[in-house]
Structure 1
Amino acid sequence: MKKPTIKHYHVRVSNLINATAFFRERLNLPVKLKSLRHFEGAIVFYSPTIQIFISERIYPKQTTEIHLDTEDCLEHYYRFKANNVVFKNEPHYLPHGLSVEFTDVDGNNYYLLESRSY
């Protein structure tokens, strides 16, 4: 059996405490503070196959665009919106599924995508 590939995103934040609160309180995601030889920050566990490494420090391959798969885009949209997450658009259809974009407290862009075959 092939092990699932884990996708890691490295995201820079201006304040680790505020960023951690955003993921825990607004998105209801587990966050674990980490201090490793090569990383200082926190790991957000979005799913078994997607982890987001957040840090105030600069690391190679940091990104401001994070793509998150979901089985129910509308459920995430309404739950996050109820927790005061700022969305850049309404859920809309793309050729590959239903998508919506939101930002974190530092303006990083997160794209939720519910893959669909039309």
Structure 2
Amino acid sequence: MADATTKAIIDTISRYLARCTDDELEAVRKKFNCVMRLDIAESGGTSSYVLDLKSQCTAGPLTEQSPSPHVTVGLSDEDFVRLVNGSEGHQRLFMKGRLKVQGNMMLLDHITSLGRLLDAAE
């Protein structure tokens, strides 16, 4: 995804999930089985997104109706894009202090797997 941003990635995933068949959604649920919250530092402040890849299979901005996350990840927009496209690893970002995690840290591997959802969406 050229000139990718977190918002563009979330929008692409959201559109992909909306057009998936029931069988495809079940495969997504089986693979991810979690709710992730992303707190993304951008030039104008922080934006929060929720990826519900457990029950509803939706992706979008955080709302009052969003489910409770299994993991909350805080990082910059640029670092999130690098994680999803595979050019940076979450372990490296965490060790550098550029990635903050609350909740189930083991679910960080799923962020890199989001790149496969993007490949399927395009």
Which TM-score applies when normalising by structure 2?
0.28
Higher share in helix: 2
Q: Which has the larger share of strand?
A: 1
Q: Which has the larger radius of gyration?
A: 1
